[in-house]
Amino acid sequence: MRTRTLFGAATVAVLLSGTLGAQEKKPVPKDSVRVFVPGCSNGRIFTAGARTEDEPSGAPIPEGMHLRMSGPKQIMSEIKEHEGSRIEITGLMKKGQYAPGGVAIAPGVRVGPGPTSSGGMTPSPGGGQAMIDVEGWRRIPGDCPSR
């Protein structure tokens, strides 16, 4: 009788620890922030959409901002299957990456360096592209605008 009770208690403890472990998220590095971004995907590029009141807040990703997604193959293929549908991605971004570049001179106005003809600054493809490491996604109501 006592053996059965110990076995039952051990089984319950193992089951509970497995359930709790599955719900834990990986810790956020000090130089990063976890964001929740609604919008639409096209290949590996995600375009941020308008945020609604019921969606969780996170970093203020401006509407229309393009993010280059990276993540596990399975998640990326699932997102690709839902192109044309509005989704919300969850992931990690470096702090400050979601703010437009340059120096703020007035609310909503920023001035930054640009390429010069003398070759001082040549733009690199994807050099200024914001990156997000996708951890997950979910379908949200609505459709993406057609091109």
* Alpha-carbon distances, residue 110 vs 9, 82, 99 (angstroms): 62, 35, 10
The residue among 95 and 140 whose pLDDT is bigger is: 140
Q: For the whole model, what pTM was predicted?
A: 0.64
Give the Cα-Cα-Cα angle 95, 128, 65 (nearest 5 degrees).
70
CATH number of 26-107+126-143: 2.40.50
What would the mean pLDDT of 34-42 be, rounded to a whole number?
92
What would the mean pLDDT of 41-61 be, rounded to a whole number?
78
- pLDDT higher than threshold 60 for residue 41: yes
User: Which span out of 49-63, 76-90, 116-130 was modeled with the highest average pLDDT?
Assistant: 76-90
* Alpha-carbon distances, residue 87 vs 42, 44, 93, 132 (angstroms): 12, 14, 18, 15
